[in-house]
Amino acid sequence: MLTRPSTGLTVMVDTMKAAAESSRLRILLLLARGDLTVTDLTEILAQSQPRVSRHLKLLMEARLVERYQEGSWAFFRLSDSEAERDFLAGIIGRVDPADPVVERDLERLAAVKRKRQERAADYFSANAASWDHIRSLHAPDGAVEAALKELIGTRPFQSMLDLGTGTGRLLELFAPLYRRGVGIDLSREMLAVARANLDRADVAHAQVRQGDIYAPPVERDGFDLVTMHQVLHYLDEPGVAIREAARLLRPAGRLVIVDFAPHAHEFLREEHAHVRLGFSDRQIEDWLEEAGLDLEASRVFAPAGAGGLTVKLWLARDRRLLIADPQTLQTELKETA
C-alpha cells in the first residue's frame, strides 16, 4: 500500500501561502496537466511574461514547481517531491473545472497542446517511412506490450522511469499503475512527440525531459520500475547504461530491457545509426550481474517472416531487499505474480 508523506508545520504554512493566490493556483492547475514553458503560460493566462515569471519564482521557492532546461527552452513542472505532489493533489482536486476562469484556461491549454501535436505530427510524418521499415522486420509491438503488462502485473507502484522514452509509449502503457512517471530522451524532436502523445492520452502524471541516458537528470534510488525499450542498440557502452539504470532503482525495483537478439542486418548500422546488432542472453545477463540485478524472466518474439528481427525482453530485479529481508521480498513477489 502506498503511504502518504508528512510535512512539518512551518513548511506546510509556507507552502499554503505560495499556493494561496489566484494566478499561482491557476498555474498549478495547468502544470498538473503537463509541463509548460513561460511562453505557454503567458499565452494561456493572458498575463505579461515578467508577471508569470514572478509567480513561477515564488512557486519554485516553495518547492511546488521545478524548472528544467531543454536546449534554449525552459520548461516548468510540478515538484517531483512526494510530499508536495500529495499536497497539490488535494488542492487541485477540489477546484471546480467548470469555474469560468478555469474553464477558459483549460480551453487555451487545449489550443497550446493542439499546436504541439501538429508539430509532432509533422516530425513523425517526415520520419515515418524509415520507422515503418524497421517495424515491418519484427513482431508487432502489441505482442511485446502484452508481455510487458503480464510481467509487470497490476499492482500500483510509486514511480516509473523510461530511459530513451522516444514516443512515450511505455509511459502511456503503464500510466494506470504509477503515481509519477518520467521519460528521458536526448532528442528534442522525440520529446515533442512524447509530450503530444501523453497529452492526447490524457496522462498528466508523467513528464518527459531532455537528458543523457548515461547520466539521467533524476534522483538515485528513486524508481520502482525503469524501462529501456529499443535503446541499447544505439549505445556505445550498453553495460554502462544498465549499471546507471540499476542505480536509479529502489530496493527490489525492477528493470525491463527490450531489444533485438543478435542479427546481421548491417543496413541498420549504416542507415539508422544502430551501434550494436542485437544482444545475446549471455551479454545481458553479465551486464545485469555487474549491475547488482537478478534476472527474473525473459521472453522471445519471433519475426513475422523469414530474415526478420527477433525481439527479446528481459526483466530483472534489484537484489538489495532480498539480502535485507527475504520474507518481505517473497511476499511482494507473490503479490506481483
* DSSP of 200-220: HTT--SEEEEE-BTTB-SS-T
80, 219 Cβ separation under 8 angstroms: yes
Helix (H, G, I), strand (E, B) or coil at 58: helix
CA Rg, the chain, in Å? Answer: 21
How far apart (Å, rounded) are the C-alpha atoms in residues 323 and 231? Answer: 30
Locate 106 and state its grid cell.
483549460
Report the side by side order of strands in the sheet with 65-70.
36-37, 73-78, 65-70
CA distance 295 to 242: 13
Could you read off the pLDDT of 303-318 as tens digits, one per residue?
877 778 899 999 999 9
- Indicate the average pLDDT of the chain: 85
User: Looking at residue 123, what is its pLDDT?
Assistant: 53
pLDDT above 70 covers what percent of the chain?
Answer: 85
Model confidence, pTM: 0.73
3-class state of residue 65 by DSSP? strand
Residue 103 has pLDDT above 80, yes or no: yes
DSSP state of 298: E
Of 103, 52, 60, the residue nearest 78 (C-alpha):
60
- pLDDT at 113 (0 to 100): 83
Q: CB–CB of 151/316 below 8 Å?
A: no
97, pLDDT greater than 80? yes
